[in-house]
Each structure stands twice: as C-alpha cells, then as structure tokens.
Amino acid sequence: MLSSRIHVHRDPQKAVELYQKAADQGYDVALNNLAQCYETGIGVAADRQRAIELYRAAAAKNNMQALGHLARLGVPVLAPQP
C-alpha cells in the first residue's frame, strides 16, 4: 500500500526543459504546458508574448486548452480545423 505522504522533488526548470524538448517535436500538450510556464513565470522568466506564441502553436494543432487560454487572454483566434 502506498503511503499518502509521498514526497516528490519538484524542479520547474527541468520541467520546462522537458516540455521544450517535446514541444520541439510538435506535441500540442507540451506546447500548451510550456506556454503556461511562460505565462506564469514558473521555471522560466514570465513572457506573455512567448506564451501567446506557444498557445497559438498548440491551438493550431487543435489543442482545446490552448484555445481556452487564448480566449481568456483576449487573444483573437480562428476556430481549429477538423
């Protein structure tokens, strides 16, 4: 039985590094997650423009979460293509 007190070392910079590697390969979830890091400044310096670029790239791959983030930020987007 697993303990309910599992301690996990969190490394935001390492997470950004791994998201970047996956984003470089075109994974939409990684693009979205990396954008969130840039938007919030977790693991990297906050950069709203970079976040928007990454959200747009994820949205172009029909990532609905990225579309939601862009809408929340007030960024106009086109509907994803089927």
% of the chain exceeding 90 in pLDDT: 79
Q: Is domain 12-71 annotated with CATH 3.90.230.10? A: no
Enter the pTM of the model. 0.85
**What are the domain boundaries of the chain?**
12-71
For residue 7, is pLDDT > 80?
Answer: no
Tens-place pLDDT, residues 41-74: 999 999 999 999 999 999 999 999 999 999 999 9
* CB 39, CB 48: distance < 8 Å: yes
What is the per-residue pLDDT for 69? 97
User: What CA–CA distances, in Å, run from 79 to 5, 52, 76?
Assistant: 43, 16, 10
